[in-house]
Structure 1
Amino acid sequence: MKILIVGAGMAGLSAARILAKYHEVTVLDKGRGIGGRMATRRIGEGVADHGAQYFSVQSNDFQVFIDELQERKIVSTWQLAQRSNIRYFGTEGMKMIPKTIADNINVITNEKVVELLQNTLITERGNEYSFDKLILTQPIPQVRELLEQSSMLISPIDDAVLNAIKYQPCIAVIALLNKATSFESGGIMLDNHPIAWIADNFQKGISHKPTVTLHASHEFSKQNLEGDLNQIGKKMLESVQVFIPQSSIETFQVHRWRYSLASSRYSASFYQLEGKQIFLAGDGFGIGNVEGAFLSGLTLAKALL
């Protein structure tokens, strides 16, 4: 059976990891690389996680997987001073986790899907991919856009499910510094501030040069989402001068995450469009976050098998 998966983030790769053992599986992603918000980026001679910073583990299925990655030194633990429970992160950056999952999976990057015609997907580059079952793991607004571009009608129940899933944005800044910060445990969470989170990637252990990652609050991100990114980045860095003096900043980059957090989710781990061999998965389903995306893909894969 041909199974086509759109999105090489945690949900898509988690599903592909299981399904590829039994079926012909192809994963398409519009980006140059894989991982979605499990993103690590170079800045000068430094490295920074600029999407998801860490994750927690609650379920046995995810714990078994993470234990395996810990044994292979791909995942490490992180005890934040402001939190009691252990967090996990990619030892060489968060991107290493999806890259590890993608081993031996047929993943094709730079393929943006633009149209769905019955059992065929067409990409922006004009390539066509046929399927027996289709798994869409993009944020739901992007799924809606694809369905509308394809003039595909969905049922009122489908429409209600999609409408109920909401996301919050996040603007992220990564900056290369000429000296390390003095954050206790390498990370700081701020309340009632334009910045919700600051991480020192040097202290975290993924960068040989001091770099920091700033995540704006949801409110600040919503208010500034369509603004000039360079100016927004300057404003964000200026707001944390008490932690990061302007004199220590060598260069910075800014990124918009339009669908950073699924703030309102569908309760089940996945959803099948009525009367169609089209399945939706991702962090908009189940418990959300990194673990939720992994479990969403895993649960869907088991159901299809």
Structure 2
Amino acid sequence: MKPSIAIIGAGMAGLTLARELAPHAELTLFEKARGLGGRMSTRRNGTHQWDHGAQFFTARTAAFKALLSPFIDRGIVAEWQPNITTLSPAKPPFKRLWFEPHYVAVPAMNQLLKTLADGLDVRLQTRVGRVAQQQEKWQLHDEHDRPLGEYDWVISSAPLPQTRALLPAPQLGHNALDGFAMQPCYALLLAVDDAALPVWDAARVNNSPINWIAFNHRLPGRQRQVGAVVVHSTPEWAAIHLENDQEQVKQRLIDHFCTLTGVDAGAITQAQLHRWRYAISTEVAEPDPGFVMNEHGRLAACGDWCLGGRVEAAFTSAHRLAGALRTRL
């Protein structure tokens, strides 16, 4: 009889883990959001869509390249070759070069995860609120304390603070999550007529509350005639203003965006603000093994925060954990 495994979170890490362990275990994924994606999710409003988390990803390891290869062949993943610039409030812009391929999912970033989830048991809009041990099983309950089932193993691929809150420290290891940290970020989502935007497609920003600007509609496979702009704040600025009035935060970011780009505020027809409390993993010296596991307690955790961020880091952490678990199931 195959062991039962509950995976908390259905982003890149959770779905990678589930796909690799599917032949060896009975798996159930619990995702609190309405749709798949995590920080690869996509927000839509009428004719506009914004990839308001990860804007792109790179592929540096053989394992991740192998995962992407069939999706590239099918057109689900495409290489992005933008005209990218560097902006600063006090200096003229200058062209920025990328020296490795950058990829996006088509027609939205969450499309890759939708494809990865095919055939898996994913319970959307199900927030795990409590994990408790009962004899030799783990019992999961939702936020209303309703039972979600009993499992042999529980694995969290959720952001670090949620993993800390859910997985019992005595069984996982009191110091197992020390050394990892995550930072916040604001995402400003704008609808702007493309004719009012500069000719470049994306920008890194220095010496500003803004860290990144992308004209989302110019990514491969998007509706290019519909201007959709994503603006990311720096984590430091977001941490300082995390609990401030959100309308004031939104307006300040709009003002900085207009100053940096020269876009007239009157050209902005929609503006939304998304607060990512757990957006960016702090850089860490790459640990071995790149995940957290207590075999005796039958608890584990993985995610990009184990390897310092990036989409590929989420995949790599889960890929390594899956390899370790296959020898133990």
Q: Same fold by TM-score, threshold 0.5 exceeded?
A: yes
* Residue 53 of structure 2 corresponds to residue 39 of structure 1: no
Aligned partners of 1:83, 1:94: CA distance in 2, in Å? 23
2:276 counterpart letter in structure 1: W
- Aligned-residue Cα RMSD (Å) equals 1.8
Aligned partners of 1:215, 1:153: CA distance in 2, in Å? 34
Residue in structure 2 matched with residue 255 of structure 1 by the alignment? 274
2:140 counterpart letter in structure 1: L
Instruction: Tell me the number of residue pairs that the alignment of Structure 1 and Structure 2 aligns.
Output: 299
Shift in Å, 1:182:
2.2
* Residue 143 of structure 2 corresponds to residue 124 of structure 1: yes
Shift in Å, 1:271:
1.0
CA displacement 1:271-297 (0-9 Å, x = unmatched) = 113731001100111353100101111
Following TM superposition, the consecutive aligned residue runs of length 4 or more in structure 1 with deviations greater than 6 angstroms are none
Residue in structure 2 matched with residue 297 of structure 1 by the alignment? 318
Residue in structure 2 matched with residue 280 of structure 1 by the alignment? 301
How do 1:106-255 residues align onto structure 2 when only pairs under 5 Å count? Answer: 106-118=121-133, 119-125=138-144, 126-147=146-167, 152-154=168-170, 158-180=173-195, 181-184=197-200, 186-205=201-220, 206-208=222-224, 209-242=226-259, 243=261, 244-255=263-274
Q: Which secondary structure does the structure 2 equivalent of 1:197 belong to?
A: strand
Larger Rg: 2
Identical columns (%): 33
Aligned partners of 2:24, 2:223: CA distance in 1, in Å? 39
1:83 to 84, 97, 102: 97
Structure 2: runs of 5 or more not aligned: 85-95
Q: Is the 8 A contact 1:43 1:252 kept in 2?
A: no
2:119 counterpart letter in structure 1: N
Shift in Å, 1:234:
1.4
Aligned partners of 1:128, 1:47: CA distance in 2, in Å? 33
TM value normalised by structure 1: 0.93
Shift in Å, 1:9:
0.8
Structure 1: runs of 5 or more not aligned: none
2:243 counterpart letter in structure 1: E
Shift in Å, 1:112:
0.9
Q: Which secondary structure does the structure 1 equivalent of 2:66 belong to?
A: helix
Q: Is the 8 A contact 1:179 1:248 kept in 2?
A: no
